[in-house]
Amino acid sequence: MNTISPESESILVIDVEATCWQGPNPPGQQNEIIEIGICVLDPVTGEPLQRGCFLVRPERSTVSPFCTELTTLTQAQLEAEGISFREACARLQTEFRSRERAWASYGDYDRKQFVRQCESFGVPYPFSDQHTNVKARFTEVFGLPRPVGMAGALRHLGLPLEGTHHRGVDDAANIARVLAAICRRLAAAKR
């Protein structure tokens, strides 16, 4: 569902990082969210209103060396600083009003991972049903022949990738920059 419009009050941009392995999942382990990056975007000004991040302690998997290389997150860091997935979902609702706001992610992986993990853990889904797949919307609005990754979208816009790629907090901010460009394009088309 593409619900983003330039008139939206504010948009919650989410990017998750999850446990991963080079090759198939080890027996008995499942992909689970270990970081939730958040950027609240004002679609009119294109400015970020709020940024945040929840580190999430994995309960049914461990952080592989491959995952650490990709995300910089370690098992020890998540055990020391992470919160439970249940608490992260509750805090999304209380601190970021996630059930009241339209939200967006780059591609559909993040939404599907939340759905899977909420079902698996018996945790209420923390978001509204107003989700926009920024990757699909970017392809449509900018008339691209095929979808591109987030870094490719930034390059298309002439913007540098800021922060550390595959860290949720930085990727959410970069996705918000892509979404701001979409909102500007849509606003200009209405003039």
Beta bridge partners of 105: 133
CB neighbour class for 48 (10 Å; exposed up to 12, middle 13-18, buried from 19): middle
Starting at the edge strand found earlier in the chain, the sheet holding 102-105 runs 48-55, 33-41, 11-18, 102-105, 131-133
Would you place residue 9 in the very low, low, confident or very high pLDDT band (cuts 50, 70, 90)? confident
Reported as a single tens digit per residue, the pLDDT across 81-113 is 999 999 999 999 999 999 999 999 999 999 999
Structural domains of the chain, ranges and CATH numbers in brackets:
11-190 (3.30.420.10)
Reported as a single tens digit per residue, the pLDDT across 113-155 is 999 999 999 999 999 999 999 999 999 999 999 999 999 999 9
Q: Which pLDDT score, from 0 to 100, does residue 1 have?
A: 42
